[in-house]
Amino acid sequence: MKPKELSTIIEVRHTADLTALAGKTQHSFQLFVCLHNGTADPMIVFSKMNRNFVIQKPEDTKMLINIFKSKIHRVKVTQAELNYVGSITIDEDLLEAAGIRENERVQIVNNNNGERIETYAIKGKRGSGIICLNGAAARKAQPGDIVIIISYAWMTPEEAATHKPTVVFPDENNRVVK
């Protein structure tokens, strides 16, 4: 869809500043979702040099909602490595069973202290039972804590209506129970 100039914006709902590099020239513009011209139709619009352009309208895309995709329920933290560059290391068997991909964003809920954090998953040695919080996340749990590792996925409401999340219940040694 070619951007169409929009002369009146009534209400801005969300903004984000974006910077794009084109060769050696830097272009800066603002992207926002707004209501326009007195209608309730939200649009994604960018503004450049005080001119507003529509780049996406609702009929161009479907609404997506963030749905619980899978979880590893009540797994034991085996390590906490503060001097590592972020993430959580998870036994590859557990990742595979839960359908969590390496580098996928996950939420970690600590049952011992109530902490909730978000980070990304990295593969640990298959069959090792490793659950290691790395970097700043290491401050939120200690070895022996019981955590739940949750992943989410963006879906249309139609996809979400038939989605069945995957739940993995590991044993006391963080092994997948067959």
Q: Which two tokens stand for residue 16?
A: 């984000």
> Does the residue 115 lie in any domain?
yes
Q: Please tell me which residue, 147 or 46, carries the higher pLDDT value.
A: 147
**Does the annotation mark 87 as catalytic?**
yes
Co-location of 127 and 100 in the same domain: yes
Q: Which residue has the tokens 């992943």?
A: 151
User: Which of 18, 165, 172, 1 minimizes the C-alpha distance to 97?
Assistant: 165
Q: What share of the chain is helix, strand, coil (3-state, %, to 5)?
A: 10, 50, 35
Co-location of 69 and 141 in the same domain: yes
Average pLDDT of every residue of the chain: 79
The CA–CA distances, whole Å, from 86 to 30, 112, 122, 153 equal 30, 21, 10, 22
**Does the annotation mark 47 as catalytic?**
no
Q: Please tell me which residue, 23 or 169, carries the higher pLDDT value.
A: 169
Select which of 87, 128, 151, 152 is catalytic. Answer: 87
Residue 91: which pLDDT band, with cuts at 50, 70 and 90?
very high
Q: Please tell me which residue, 65 or 25, carries the higher pLDDT value.
A: 65
Select which of 7, 84, 120, 152 is catalytic. Answer: 120
Integer Cα distance of 108 and 13 in angstroms: 30
Integer Cα distance of 158 and 64 in angstroms: 10
Write out the residue range of the structural domain in which residue 49 sits. 4-60
Q: What is the CATH number of the domain that holds 106?
A: 2.40.40.20
CA 158-159-165 angle, 5° bins: 135
Q: Mean pLDDT check: name the lowest of 43-47, 76-80, 85-89, 96-100.
A: 43-47
Helix, strand, or coil (residue 82): coil
Domain count, the chain: 2
